[in-house]
């Protein structure tokens, strides 16, 4: 007899019926049951059948199951005569991994489009292989009474499916049908119901007529409109106060997507995966009729397939690609409740499509890009709260993350529960979402943190939250340097423990010297780091004003590196008002509100403004992104040229001097060198800076493994150029896959560093 224990996401995902069917297939006897921590199985039968059973257990597991570990031990025969699913065993202090919400499976999709099926046209169809999970769970163990589905009493037919171990809906907690389950309601901007016999049809007609709809989905509301209707999109942008940040588009089928975008094999797999994220795809904007207003000046379009029955029905009925942007104003958290949406999205949406299956946890769409392999840009729906597995057993830690694109991380055992994307922690609403989500994770995974890790930046709301919590509850507080956290997040997801050369390039991170870091070379491991190199310091003139207005940054570099008498004639910067120029010079001279920065993000901004691509931005990294987009067109150039730069030794660190780079770019601009050429040369220069500094560090340290992290590495061109240049020099290069290279990955690194720096 074999006792098998299976750990992972194995409950509420159809795992026991799967085991039941498998046992029958191989004629094995025994039983299967859920315990608080695992699924346990006892089986008897011949050896070959057992081997097959064990192999299939992992290989053929249901789509939502995620197996972490299978252990088998052998015991004397018990003489079982049949195979059954036994009563669950609850154990004190144990916890379960909770499944993320998963896109509608093929079987359910078939049912909703099958005219004689009892779920024909039903927008809340789901089964054990698909549907809501995390967004409806209030507590564990996961059963219907502890979800927002508790208010719906199953009809006899649904109950029968639920009770039948051979049915696809056996113990599917959100199981429902048109007779007994949730339903839709279409209302106008004042919340008054619209009379209609077919809600999906009425909604699709409004969308086709150019209206903006707030549509309640899986983890919150989307703001939707016709993605081919420029007027509708511009109106949405004005109302949402989102002038040019790209919007995501949902398309009905993969064939539709291929009409508008180039899709690689790897991208197709990701689009059609059960996680169904938004994937950034190369946009065929010359032939696509998607409005350029969806993603102004960009070569990539964020696209996803329908992932709920409601989306399938709407897209099919509408017959056009739909903008599906998160239902919020600017950077606030996504709205999730009907009443809340009516208030927060009034004035944005013309109509609201409500439903009454309540959402317990806000859950944004995940965003991925494929550069060689899939890489998370925003990790939420379909992924969280599935943990990142740690290569060690962790203490119970709460890591509070950074400011923008915040996530937090709670650790226990070998699990790092990295939260879904929370948002930019700049307002009360996001802070509240952050606090509520921490409480939910603590409850679901039975974690009581004794250690709190936080960013060194004194002004971050996440830092203030941590300090408060620490002093109130007497917890062990551990500050973590921002770029150290970036590098360690990359190391941990790659399961690398030994020290590496960490290249952390991003926009802003508080340094141990009080300056704003962001172009950093660290010798780092899980425990500590040493800053062994960085881009040279320049003043961030006027503080945040320099971030919103890259032309100020360009002036700061020019005046600081090339002298105050630099001539702006023949440069796009020549258009800056003399009064403002004078003010900037004064600020630089007196150092007023001009902290020093080594930020790589600001370097990209400055070059973008200097060559005339973008002098002012309205979303993070816009200037750098648009600069990259222009170079990408030229990336086929056989011979890569670069600008000059030099590296000096200063206080034990390599400092990259950028004066020659700037004066060469100024020359190129004055000579009217095409911007794509300048941009490509500049990208290549940054790749060379990285490689050269790493070589110098390697010579002294003997370390030949490099980790690339920080938001700047969302720049695909730079990532590609830097990786290949480093590899040519014999370095092995670690990059991100599971967690974002941007600040959305910071909390994972913080947690790990705190784990190895705490006494308790
Ligand atoms: Zn299904
Ligand atoms: Zn029913
Ligand atoms: Fe960062």
* pLDDT score of 633: 63
Q: State how beta strands 529-535 and 653-657 pair.
A: parallel
pLDDT of residue 211 exceeding 90, the answer is yes
Point out the ligand nearest to the CA of residue 118: 2
213-261 per-position pLDDT tens digit: 999 999 999 999 999 999 999 999 999 999 999 999 999 999 999 999 9
Q: φ, ψ for residue 692 (rounded to 5)? A: -65, -45
Residue-level pLDDT at 632: 65
Residue 755: helix, strand or coil by DSSP? helix
Cα 102 to averaged position of ligand 3 atoms, centre (Å): 30
What is the average per-residue pLDDT within 113-119? Answer: 98
Q: What is the spatial distance between Cα 45 and Cα 26, in angstroms, rounded to a whole number?
A: 8
Ligand showing the shortest atom-to-Cα distance for residue 274: 1
pLDDT for residue 357: 98
Radius of gyration of the chain (CA): 27
Task: Give the CA distances from residue 310 to residues 67, 199, 474, 503, 581, in Å, rounded to whole numbers and listed in that order.
Answer: 29, 11, 47, 44, 54
Tokens of 249: 């588009």
Phi, psi of 210 (to 5 degrees): 90, 15
285 vs 710: which has the higher pLDDT: 710
133 CA → ligand 2 middle, Å: 18
CB contact set of 672 (below 8 Å; sequence gap of 6+): none
- CA-CA distance, 237 to 60, in Å (whole number)? 45
* Protein residues placing their CB within 5 Å of the ion ligand 2: 155, 158, 177, 179-180
Residue 638: pLDDT above 60?
A: no
Helices (H), 658-743: 659-670, 675-701, 716-728
pLDDT digits (tens, 9 = 90+) for 444-490: 999 999 999 999 999 999 999 999 999 999 999 999 999 999 999 99
User: What's domain 184-368's architecture?
Assistant: Alpha-Beta Complex (3.90)
Instruction: Provide the pLDDT for residue 636.
Output: 59
Of the bound ligands, which one is closest to the alpha carbon of residue 152? 2
Quote the percentage of the chain above a pLDDT of 90: 88
For tokens 């240049």, name the residue. Answer: 725
Which ligand has an atom closest to residue 175 CA? 2
Cα of 256 vs centre of ligand 1, distance in Å, is: 23
What percent of the chain is predicted at pLDDT more than 70? 98
Over range 488-495, report the average pLDDT.
98
Confidence at residue 141, expressed as pLDDT on a 0 to 100 scale: 76
Mean pLDDT lowest among 79-93, 183-197, 223-237, 320-334:
79-93
Q: Model confidence over 17-63: pLDDT tens digits?
A: 899 999 999 999 999 998 877 899 999 999 999 999 999 999 999 88
Calculate how far, in angstroms, residue 129's C-alpha sits from the geometric centre of ligand 1.
Answer: 5
pLDDT at residue number 238: 96
Rounded Cα–Cα distance for residues 560 and 537 (Å):
10
Q: Where are the beta strands (DSSP E) in 147-275?
A: 184-188, 213-216, 221-226, 249-250, 261-262
**What is the residue-averaged pLDDT of the chain?**
95
Quick one: which ligand is closest to 172's CA? 1
- Confidence class of residue 760 from pLDDT cuts 50, 70 and 90? low
CATH topology of domain 2-85: Alpha-Beta Plaits (3.30.70)
Give pLDDT tens digits for 662-681: 999 999 999 999 999 999 99
* Distance (Å) from CA 126 to ligand 1 centroid: 5
Ligand 3 centroid – CA 698 distance (Å): 24
d(CA 449, CA 439): 11
- What residues pack around ion ligand 3 (CB closer than 5 A)? 506, 509, 743
Confidence of residue 637 (pLDDT cuts 50, 70, 90): low
The ligand whose atoms approach the alpha carbon of 179 most closely is 2
Which pLDDT value is given to residue 124? Answer: 98
Contact 351, 189 (CB under 8 A): yes
Ligand positioned closest to the Cα atom of 157 = 2
- Confidence (pLDDT) at 331: 78
Q: Which tokens in the block code for residue 315?
A: 């897209």
Mean pLDDT in residue range 305-311: 98
Assigned token pair, 453: 């890790």
Cα of 160 to ligand 2 centre, how many Å?
9
Domain boundaries, the chain: 2-85, 184-368
760 CA to centre of ligand 3 in angstroms: 28
- d(CA 165, CA 752) in angstroms, rounded, equals 42
Distance 306 CA to ligand 1 centre (A): 14
Task: Tell me how many degrees the CA angle 534-567-665 measures, rounded to the nearest 5.
Answer: 45
Q: 412 CA to middle of ligand 3, Å?
A: 25
Q: Which ligand is nearest to the CA of 104?
A: 1
3-state secondary structure of 406: strand
Nearest ligand for residue 127 CA:
1
Residue 634 has pLDDT above 70, yes or no: no
Minimum mean pLDDT range among 83-97, 389-403, 736-750: 83-97
The pLDDT assigned to 380 comes to 98
The larger pLDDT score, comparing residue 14 to residue 397, is at 397
User: Cα–Cα distance between 58 and 146 in angstroms, integer?
Assistant: 29
Q: Cα separation of 735 and 707, whole Å?
A: 6
Q: Which ligand is nearest to the CA of 178?
A: 2
pLDDT value at residue 34: 84
Whole-angstrom distance, CA of residue 531 vs CA of residue 509: 13
Cα 478 to middle of ligand 3, angstroms = 18
């Amino acid at each position: 007899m074999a006792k098998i224990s299976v750990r992972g996401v194995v409950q509420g995902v159809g795992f026991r019926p799967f085991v039941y069917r498998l046992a029958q297939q191989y004629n094995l006897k025994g039983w299967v049951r859920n315990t608080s921590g695992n699924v346990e199985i006892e089986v008897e039968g011949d050896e070959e059948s057992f081997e097959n059973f064990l192999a299939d257990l992992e290989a053929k597991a249901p789509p939502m199951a995620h197996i972490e570990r299978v252990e088998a031990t052998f015991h004397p025969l018990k003489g079982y005569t049949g195979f059954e699913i036994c009563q669950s065993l609850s154990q004190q202090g144990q916890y379960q991994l909770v499944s993320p919400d998963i896109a509608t499976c093929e079987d359910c999709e078939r049912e909703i489009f099958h005219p004689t099926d009892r779920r024909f046209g039903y927008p809340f169809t789901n089964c054990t292989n698909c549907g809501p999970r995390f967004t409806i769970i209030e507590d564990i163990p996961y059963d219907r009474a502890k979800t927002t589905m508790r208010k719906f009493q199953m009809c006899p037919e649904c109950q029968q499916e639920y009770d039948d171990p051979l049915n696809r809906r056996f113990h599917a907690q959100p199981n429902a049908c048109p007779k007994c389950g949730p339903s839709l309601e279409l209302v106008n901007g004042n919340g008054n119901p619209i009379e209609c016999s077919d809600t999906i049809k009425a909604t699709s007609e409004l969308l086709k007529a150019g209206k903006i709809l707030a549509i309640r989905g899986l983890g919150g509301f989307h703001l939707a409109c016709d993605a081919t209707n420029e007027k509708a999109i511009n109106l949405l942008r004005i109302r949402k106060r989102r002038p040019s940040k790209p919007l995501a588009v949902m398309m009905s089928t993969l064939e539709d997507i291929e009409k508008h975008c180039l899709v690689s094999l790897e991208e197709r797999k990701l689009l059609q995966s059960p996680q169904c994220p938004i994937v950034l795809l190369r946009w065929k904007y010359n032939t696509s009729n998607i409005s350029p207003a969806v993603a102004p000046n960009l070569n990539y379009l964020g696209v996803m397939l329908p992932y709920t029955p409601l989306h399938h029905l709407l897209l099919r009925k509408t017959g056009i690609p739909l903008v599906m942007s998160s239902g919020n104003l600017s950077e606030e958290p996504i709205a999730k409740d009907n009443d809340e949406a009516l208030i927060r999205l009034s004035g944005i949406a013309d109509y609201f499509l409500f439903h009454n299956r309540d959402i317990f946890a806000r859950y944004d769409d995940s965003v991925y890009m494929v550069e060689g392999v899939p890489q998370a840009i925003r990790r939420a729906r379909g992924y969280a709260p599935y943990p990142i597995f740690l290569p060690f057993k962790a203490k119970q830690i709460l890591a509070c993350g950074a400011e923008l694109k915040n996530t937090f991380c709670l650790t226990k055992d070998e699990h790092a529960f990295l939260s879904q994307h929370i948002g930019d922690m700049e307002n009360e609403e996001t802070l509240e979402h952050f606090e509520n989500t921490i409480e939910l994770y603590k409850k679901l995974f039975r974690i009581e943190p004794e250690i709190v890790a936080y960013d060194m930046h004194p002004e971050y709301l996440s830092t203030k939250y941590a300090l408060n919590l620490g002093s109130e509850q007497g917890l062990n507080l551990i500050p973590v340097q921002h770029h150290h956290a970036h590098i360690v997040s990359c190391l941990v997801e790659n399961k690398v423990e030994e020290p590496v050369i960490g290249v952390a390039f991003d926009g802003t991170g508080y340094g141990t010297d009080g300056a704003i870091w962001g172009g950093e070379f660290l010798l780092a491991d899980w425990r500590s780091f040493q800053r062994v190199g960085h881009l040279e310091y320049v003043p961030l003139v006027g503080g945040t004003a320099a971030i919103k207005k890259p032309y100020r940054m360009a002036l700061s570099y020019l005046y600081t590196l090339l002298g105050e008498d630099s001539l702006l004639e023949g440069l796009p910067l020549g258009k800056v008002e003399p009064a403002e120029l004078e003010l900037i010079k004064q600020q630089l001279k007196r150092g007023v509100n001009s902290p020093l920065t080594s930020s790589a993000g600001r370097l990209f901004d400055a070059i973008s403004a200097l060559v005339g691509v973008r002098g002012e931005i309205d979303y993070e990294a816009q200037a750098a992104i648009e600069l990259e987009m222009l170079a990408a067109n030229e990336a086929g150039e056989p011979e890569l040229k670069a600008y000059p730069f030099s590296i000096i030794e200063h206080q034990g660190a390599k400092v990259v001097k950028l004066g020659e780079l700037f004066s060469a770019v100024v020359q190129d601009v004055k000579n009217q060198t095409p911007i794509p050429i300048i941009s490509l040369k500049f990208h290549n220069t940054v790749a060379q800076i990285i490689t050269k500094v790493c070589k110098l560090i390697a010579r002294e340290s003997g370390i030949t493994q490099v980790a690339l992290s920080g938001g700047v590495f969302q720049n695909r061109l730079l990532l590609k150029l830097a990786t290949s240049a480093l590899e040519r020099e014999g370095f092995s290069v670690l990059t991100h896959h599971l967690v974002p290279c941007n600040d959305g990955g910071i909390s994972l690194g913080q947690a790990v560093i705190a784990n190895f720096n705490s006494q308790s």
